[in-house]
Chain A
Amino acid sequence: MNKKILIVTAVLYGLVMLSSCKKYLDVKPDDKFLESQLFSSKVGIESVLNSIYLQLPNSPLYGENLSTTAVELFAQQYNYSASAYSAFSYYNFNDPSVVPVIDTIWSSSYNTIVNINKLIANLAVYPGVVSKAESDIIAGEAYALRAMLHFDLLRLYGPVYSTHPQVSAIPYYTVATPDAQPFLNAADVMVKILADLHTAEGLLAADPIITLGKQEVLQNDGNDFLRFRNLRMNFYAVKALEARVQLYAGNNAAALAAAQNVINSGAALFPWSDPVAVNAGGNSDKVFSSEIVFALQNLNMYSQFDATFVSANSVLAPSDFRLQETYEVQTGEGVNDYRYRSQWGGVLYGIMRQFLKYTDVTDQTKTFRYMQPMLRMSEMYYIAAESETDPALALGYLNTVRYNRGLSNLPDGTDINAELLKEYRKEFYGEGQLFFYYKRTNASMIPDGSGMDDYSFQYMRDSYYVVPHPQY
């Protein structure tokens, strides 16, 4: 009898052991991470921030749509006879080729914003995992990136700000939540963008770029995460973004102050490109890397670019006439322009030149490889020139850039805004800024990329400038 009781007890004990072990069910996935795992290590937190920098240069965002394709097509930078893209050039936003693109810019931006919001929130939930100094830098970059994404959503999907600041634009997310946030009007969005930039500026006050510079060499000492500051949303990038935002908001004085801040304190960090480097043949620094305040490192850059501009069935390029007109080749200016000389290839099919800005170089050790420009010094000079009330000073800013592009100085009395338009067209090919320049200035007619003569224009209206956001 005792033996039987023993057996039954043993079995019951076995049953309990079998079934109640909580630890047994605590399985950690090996192909993904739980939030608590990730935020309990420095490497984990850094990788979350880095994932933002990896998402931004993907093709739905700054890798293509917001740099080389969609927004450039809207700005009539290319010959729309390339049929795959013609609907973009016609602002036919309901076309099946356009809808997925404007949807993906929208949803990818907000998806990146969720990641940013999660990061910001979790830095507070898991304190002390990284040092206070590093935490501030990570948070500062995150706030500024959140502002940048919302700003570009506002510029693309929002109203023409200069005329309709009170029109409903986009929702502004400061928390990661499944509950949809309300659409705010453009002016309110602008307030939130500037607030985030202000927060970022404060958090980045001790950015190593201020004391140690860009640090474009890896040391493998465990601190590399805070090097290559020009590939990160650094302190000056925040100021430069602020200048861009303030100008868009029409706050010229504030824009000027921010631009001057970057020009003055960042001059040594972001020097003008050496013409020798720019014209170095197979190793030409076609993106003018030294002047870039903030770039994304896009490892898919050359393949993405190749697919659109080199081996595609319909290669994107402006008509040769339009290109020559843009760079003022007829007047003799263009042939000396470093940008024209380095960024454009020979005539293709007898009608157009190939865009070379993002083609690879021979020397694979060059640090400027894979740099996708987001903010550059020249824009600070343009902003300063546009918002400076003293015409002489304004012309000075403009001529500084022209000098560094191999162009002659413009005389006093030049129409600054007309020249600035020319500069934006030359400087930002493939960088996605021109459409927003047109939208900011509410230009009523813009030169079209397929134009064959001086009378070829695209007439603009609000419905072309305001890209409809997805309805769900």
Chain B
Amino acid sequence: MGLWTFFAFLLPNRRHLTETLLIMKLIVILILGACLQVSARGYAQTVTLSEKNASLEKIFREVKKQTGYDFFYESKLLKEAKKVDITVSHASLEQVLTICFRDQPLSFSIVEKTILVKPKPVPEFAPPEETAAPPDTVRGHIVDEKGNPIVGATISVKGTSKGVSTDANGNYSIVTRGKAVLVISYVGYATQEITPGSRKMLNIDLKLSIISLGEVVSTGKMERKMESFTGAVLKVSGDELKAVGNENIIQSLKTLDPSFIVVDNNSQGSNPNNLPTIELRGKTSLSTQGVKDVFSGDPNLPLFVLDGFESDLATIVNLDMNRVASVTVLKDAASTAAYGSKAANGVVVVETKRPVKGKLSVSYTADFRVQVPDMNSYNLMNASEKLQFEKLAGRWHVGWPSFDEGLDSLYNQRLLAVKKGVNTKWINIPVRTGFNNGHSLYVSGGSDELQFGIGLNYKKDDGVMKGSDRQTWGGTIDLRYRYKRLNIYNKLYLSGYNFNESPYGSFSTYAQTNPYFTPLDSNGQVSRYLDQSPYFYDTIKATNPLYNADLPSKNYTNNFGITNNLALIYSVSNHLRVEGALQLQKDITTTETFVSPQNTMYDQTVFNQKGSYTNNRADNFTYRTNLGIVYGNTFNGLHQLTANLRGELEQDHNTQVGFDAVGFPVGSNGNPAFASGYSPYGRPTAASGIYRRSAVSASANYVYDNRYLFDASYDLDGSTAFGSNRQYTTFWSVGAGINLNNQFHLDKNLFSLFKIRGNIGAVGNQSLGRFPNVSVYQYNTGTNIFGQGTQLQSLANPNLQWQNTKTTSVGTDIALWKGRFSATLNAYDKKTDPLVVVVNLSSTTGLSNYPTNEGVMDTRGLEAMLRYSPIYNVASQVVWTIGITGSMVKSKYERFGPDGLASLNKEAQAANSLSRYIDGNSPDAIWAVPSLGIDPTTGFEVYKRKDGQSTFEYNVDDAVVVGNTRPKVEGVITNNVNYKGFTIGINLRYRIGGDQFNYALFNKVENIGESNINQNFDKRALYDRWFKPGDVAKYKNINIGSGTGVYDGLAFSSSLVTSRFVQKENDLIGESINLGYQFINKPWMNGIGLKVLSFNAYMNDIFHWSTIKAERGTDYPFANAVSFSIRASF
């Protein structure tokens, strides 16, 4: 009862929680009380009983409750037992049992902590071997494939009614007799039958069963049985990830979990050095610039946890996939509430492999990957088309005879070149086929007491832009030591990466370069300028992008990190475990850039400031430590309770220092020693921040008879991010579920699992900037005769509240026909109330970037994962599985009020942005002025005003929602065949019902004017634009002439954001197609000591079919990849 009182106390009641310290004390008192009771009960040596006419079973239960001793018997024996009258006080166990068994046809014996009940010996009739066999106690340790102890596994003697279950450390002890067969079972694992024979010590490794629904979920803080958990989680194994692709965890995980979305980065494409943008179940925060500070990241990114400690996206992306044991995606409050203040966007828990005991085992994996740039989305004009376009656009006609003469001759020069066959495909110049390779080695082995593992990995990715590459490496030493009740686990991890950005710069430069220019001049040299018009009025001067690319340059980042995780686990008793862990981490990242003084960007710069060098170094030192208690017990075989209490402490110290230098000699390689000085009036940049957090979290899981499930968790989180008056915030969750298959005793052959679960809770977000609630000052940048000045940096908002996301989630897990069909369905609602918004107040207040609470963001969604195997012959390894996953997410803003975010909306309008912050609308909505198309008479665009009238005049206030970038439904269709070791997997991503603003149309079909006419454009600019009155065209007048400049004709007006550029997007993407074969224990392998040899081949993002024709990968192209992976284990 003590524990329940304790958890009931922890359920949210804000009024009680204001006095932090008081609570802390109370928690301690309560826990101590609870534990004392548990211990007292477990170890009482005397019995007090008062029963009249009680059944023997009832007495046994009572005695067990008081002493902790288990009874062991066949149930049919008790049928013959007589009722008992007994009244004893503080009697010994033996005394009590003697009384109870006095007149029974039964006898008892006490072995260890078990009371063995058997029929009174009747020598005449009993078979001799039965009596001859004395009771034996078998002990042992049950572990899973990774060597982790399994808690709560059942060990029973075949043919008897009762058994025992393993304790918190996976240990058991059971009394057997004679030829007894032990049955070891655990949800999700294959049941094993073992005859102990004469063995007294029996350690057992359980293997995962084919049905992988019932597993243990690691929330990173504690492990829970999937079957009894009420949270929405998805667990995938390292092998499953590796089956999808060999690039990184993130890229594979997106295929496996429909709610885990990697947002396409159309600018950075497949740049290996670009970190992905990830959303898990939609957005919970506004991601305007203002909410971030120098050390904070994306406020919609999920939290990553690696081996029990918080990690960051870069580490996860760089992590060697071959070392990953499992990844668990925690999506809702019940699963994430233990992470409290950081859990609003979900948590991704990554566990790496642990050393396995036994003889030295070596596993080696080689990965190869070939990437080719995907240029299919580019629809650029060729040289003659471009020249024709220029002619039609009016570039070669001014209307002033003296100018036109010159223009004519220049045009003719160009025409001559085109006729001669000049047609440079610039986009093919900066790209290449990228070859990547990776190697990973892991050696492990050891005895029962000491296990070790050593891992090494190296990977080199060559991007598809020339000169862009990334190298990552890592080394790890795992040690695991077990001494009596103490487990020590230490992991030392060294890692680093280097990356170079392409010296070719942005890919868009090449896509823009005119095809009628050649990169080499008549002497075969790379010319500095492609075009230097001799006419002063033709001010366009095209530089040769190759010239700059060939100059010495540097854009280089180097990282080195060292992490040590030490974990200690001490088993106080069979039910109670104390755990502590410490992580130390140091990370150094240096970025250097150098631009040659010869670069054409310095044409207008004074001689002693040409060329630039920047150096930026970021240092990070983190320690994290935690200490906790885990309690787990089963009462009467019906009540399972696991509980966990944990305290954490964390400090993160970031510093950043940078400087820049200018003025380099021609030919310099970028050594800053050659700089002529720092940049004029420049000063070093520096930032520093210490972040600290301390938290206590508690969680409990109660299961009644494998039928009713309850979860509760509570987190009291203190952080420097909350400001000094409000250091602590509380987060909580409660959940419940029911296993319908157990409740209604559904046919086991049909229903292996039918669970309904739901939970609700509140979680927070710390990826925002830190907004202190006292005003903060900083030094002015200059000084004067009176010294320094300190200026108000931010005015405190004492009423600022932290973002709180209330998450509700319901779902069901169904497995039919022994796992042949499985389904998981989830529905959720995440309501962030209030939001933290950084607004620019009225300019007269003198305050900008003022943090305040405005509005609410409500995100709702559905997820489904369905799987069915038309062929399902597990025994002969022939399985064909088809599956589909899908997710739907809708977000909307609420309660901004009519002018809550007026300043942000004004900014958005001024910047021609597609987004607005208006109640009832989605953050993904596209706002634009509705267009009625192109007027066939004039070639101008006709807009629709708010009042429904048509007009030629563009008014940004007429903007309405014209689309939504988020697909209505998005997911993956899978098709997997496993035939005797051969596997084929096809994963196709579909996206239906989204809209995109097509920037290719906006920038490269329209919006062509004097300033950019010298660039290359989309073919549609030539073929689909209005040309003469009467043309029914999608795009406006081809003539770009301006009234005031040198070009005649119609006034050029730039195209503005209208619904004309918004298009429906339905996509089908060949995300992963893979093929594999595995050799296990073939005769030929034994000779060379090979245990497993597997081959995999993949094609990733091999096609991308879309209903819209837009340029993909503007600054860095996307790549199609083919890869291979070989793994050998010795």
Q: How far is the CB of A149 from chain B (nearest CB, A)?
A: 10
Which residues of chain B from 23 to 53 have any CB-CB distance to chain A below 8 Å in the complex?
24-25, 27-28, 31-32, 35-36, 39, 43
A225: B residues at CB distance < 8 A: 786
Contact of A299 among B36, B772, B783 (CB under 8 A): B783
B693: A residues at CB distance < 8 A: 25
CB of B845 within 8 A of CB of A118, answer: no
Q: How far is the CB of A71 from chain B (nearest CB, A)?
A: 19
Taken together as a complex, chains A and B put the C-alpha atoms of A185 and B687 apart, in Å, by 44
**B757 is an interface residue with CB less than 8 A from chain A:** no
Residue picked from B576, B578, B797, most chain A C-beta under 10 Å: B578
Contact of A14 among B570, B647, B718, B720 (CB under 8 A): B647
B786: A residues at CB distance < 8 A: 46, 50, 53, 224-225, 228, 231
CB of B647 within 8 A of CB of A19, answer: yes
Q: How far is the CB of A55 from chain B (nearest CB, A)?
A: 7
Segment at the B interface, from A103-111, A234-242, A412-420: A103-111
Contact of B628 among A15, A176, A180, A181 (CB under 8 A): A15
B690: A residues at CB distance < 8 A: 27, 29-30
Q: How far is the CB of A12 from chain B (nearest CB, A)?
A: 5
**A212 is an interface residue with CB less than 8 A from chain B:** no
CB of A36 within 8 A of CB of B774, answer: yes
B77: A residues at CB distance < 8 A: none
Taken together as a complex, chains A and B put the C-alpha atoms of A449 and B629 apart, in Å, by 82
CB of A103 within 8 A of CB of B844, answer: no
B580: A residues at CB distance < 8 A: 11, 14
A18 and B689 in contact (CB under 8 A), knowing A25-B720, A54-B789, A303-B681?
Answer: no
A177 and B845 in contact (CB under 8 A), knowing A5-B36, A19-B648?
Answer: yes
CB of B845 within 8 A of CB of A179, answer: yes
Residue of A nearest to B796 (CB): A35
Residue of B nearest to A112 (CB): B846
| 12 A-B contacts (beta carbon < 8 Å) | A21-B694, A22-B20, A29-B689, A32-B776, A48-B789, A53-B789, A110-B844, A114-B847, A115-B846, A178-B795, A178-B845, A303-B681
A20 and B24 in contact (CB under 8 A), knowing A4-B572, A35-B777, A472-B906?
Answer: yes
Segment at the A interface, from B494-502, B835-843, B974-982: B835-843
Taken together as a complex, chains A and B put the C-alpha atoms of A29 and B775 apart, in Å, by 12
B645: A residues at CB distance < 8 A: 12, 15
Which residues of chain B from 200 to 258 have any CB-CB distance to chain A below 8 Å in the complex?
none
**A7 is an interface residue with CB less than 8 A from chain B:** yes
**A221 is an interface residue with CB less than 8 A from chain B:** no
1/0 per residue, CB under 8 A from A, across B623-655: the answer is 001111100000000000000011111000000
CB of B39 within 8 A of CB of A1, answer: yes
**B21 is an interface residue with CB less than 8 A from chain A:** yes
Other A-B pairs, 15, CB within 8 Å; known A50-B788, A311-B606 = A12-B31, A14-B580, A16-B24, A18-B625, A19-B649, A19-B695, A22-B21, A25-B720, A34-B777, A51-B789, A51-B791, A106-B844, A112-B846, A171-B844, A472-B840
Q: How far is the CB of A406 from chain B (nearest CB, A)?
A: 31
A16 and B647 in contact (CB under 8 A), knowing A7-B578, A54-B783?
Answer: yes
Residue of A nearest to B840 (CB): A472
Residue picked from B573, B716, B785, most chain A C-beta under 10 Å: B785
Q: How far is the CB of A87 from chain B (nearest CB, A)?
A: 15
A51: B residues at CB distance < 8 A: 780, 789-791
**A393 is an interface residue with CB less than 8 A from chain B:** no
Q: How far is the CB of A404 from chain B (nearest CB, A)?
A: 27
B88: A residues at CB distance < 8 A: none
What is A's interface to B at a CB cutoff of 8 Å? 1, 4-5, 7-9, 11-16, 18-22, 24-27, 29-36, 38, 44, 46-55, 103, 106-107, 109-115, 118, 170-171, 173, 176-181, 218, 224-225, 228, 231, 297, 299-300, 303, 311, 370, 470, 472
**B792 is an interface residue with CB less than 8 A from chain A:** yes
A7 and B572 in contact (CB under 8 A), knowing A19-B649, A19-B718, A107-B846?
Answer: yes
CB of A300 within 8 A of CB of B687, answer: no
B25: A residues at CB distance < 8 A: 16
CB of B846 within 8 A of CB of A110, answer: yes
B850: A residues at CB distance < 8 A: 178
Q: How far is the CB of A66 from chain B (nearest CB, A)?
A: 16
A16: B residues at CB distance < 8 A: 24-25, 27-28, 647
Residue of A nearest to B794 (CB): A32
Q: How far is the CB of A237 from chain B (nearest CB, A)?
A: 16
CB of B789 within 8 A of CB of A472, answer: no
B1089: A residues at CB distance < 8 A: none
**B692 is an interface residue with CB less than 8 A from chain A:** yes
Q: How far is the CB of A11 from chain B (nearest CB, A)?
A: 5
CB of B785 within 8 A of CB of A228, answer: yes
Q: How far is the CB of A27 from chain B (nearest CB, A)?
A: 5
Taken together as a complex, chains A and B put the C-alpha atoms of A114 and B724 apart, in Å, by 23
CB of A15 within 8 A of CB of B572, answer: no
CB of B627 within 8 A of CB of A32, answer: no
**B749 is an interface residue with CB less than 8 A from chain A:** no
A299 and B784 in contact (CB under 8 A), knowing A27-B690, A50-B789?
Answer: yes
CB of A110 within 8 A of CB of B845, answer: yes
CB of B790 within 8 A of CB of A31, answer: no
CB of B846 within 8 A of CB of A173, answer: yes
A34 and B627 in contact (CB under 8 A), knowing A7-B578, A297-B784?
Answer: no
CB of B688 within 8 A of CB of A31, answer: yes
A18: B residues at CB distance < 8 A: 625-627, 647-649, 694, 696
CB of A27 within 8 A of CB of B841, answer: no
What is B's interface to A at a CB cutoff of 8 Å? 20-21, 24-25, 27-28, 31-32, 35-36, 39, 43, 570, 572-573, 576, 578, 580, 606, 625-629, 645-649, 680-681, 686-696, 716, 718-720, 724, 727, 772, 774-778, 780, 782-793, 795-797, 840-848, 850, 852, 902-903, 906
A26: B residues at CB distance < 8 A: 724
Q: How far is the CB of B459 from chain A (nearest CB, A)?
A: 37
Contact of B692 among A8, A27, A113, A224 (CB under 8 A): A27
Taken together as a complex, chains A and B put the C-alpha atoms of A1 and B852 apart, in Å, by 54
A-B CB proximity, top 4 nearest: A51-B789, A15-B647, A110-B846, A180-B842
Residue picked from A49, A54, A180, most chain B C-beta under 10 Å: A54
Residue of B nearest to A104 (CB): B843
CB of B780 within 8 A of CB of A55, answer: yes
Taken together as a complex, chains A and B put the C-alpha atoms of A68 and B115 apart, in Å, by 100
A297 and B843 in contact (CB under 8 A), knowing A11-B629, A19-B718, A472-B906?
Answer: no
Q: How far is the CB of B179 from chain A (nearest CB, A)?
A: 38
B842: A residues at CB distance < 8 A: 180, 472
Residue picked from B572, B791, B848, most chain A C-beta under 10 Å: B791
A31 and B778 in contact (CB under 8 A), knowing A19-B718, A107-B843?
Answer: yes
Q: How far is the CB of A207 from chain B (nearest CB, A)?
A: 16
Taken together as a complex, chains A and B put the C-alpha atoms of A33 and B792 apart, in Å, by 9
A13: B residues at CB distance < 8 A: 28
A103: B residues at CB distance < 8 A: 843
A29: B residues at CB distance < 8 A: 688-690, 776
Q: How far is the CB of B843 from chain A (nearest CB, A)?
A: 5
A178 and B789 in contact (CB under 8 A), knowing A35-B777, A472-B906?
Answer: no
CB of A1 within 8 A of CB of B32, answer: no
Taken together as a complex, chains A and B put the C-alpha atoms of A181 and B841 apart, in Å, by 11
Q: How far is the CB of A470 from chain B (nearest CB, A)?
A: 5
Taken together as a complex, chains A and B put the C-alpha atoms of A273 and B347 apart, in Å, by 73
Residue of B nearest to A297 (CB): B784
Contact of B727 among A25, A118, A299, A311 (CB under 8 A): A25
Q: How far is the CB of B112 from chain A (nearest CB, A)?
A: 17
Q: How far is the CB of A147 from chain B (nearest CB, A)?
A: 16
CB of A176 within 8 A of CB of B785, answer: no
Taken together as a complex, chains A and B put the C-alpha atoms of A25 and B772 apart, in Å, by 13
Q: How far is the CB of B770 from chain A (nearest CB, A)?
A: 9
Taken together as a complex, chains A and B put the C-alpha atoms of A106 and B789 apart, in Å, by 22
Taken together as a complex, chains A and B put the C-alpha atoms of A103 and B694 apart, in Å, by 44
Residue of B nearest to A471 (CB): B906
Contact of B792 among A49, A115, A179 (CB under 8 A): A115
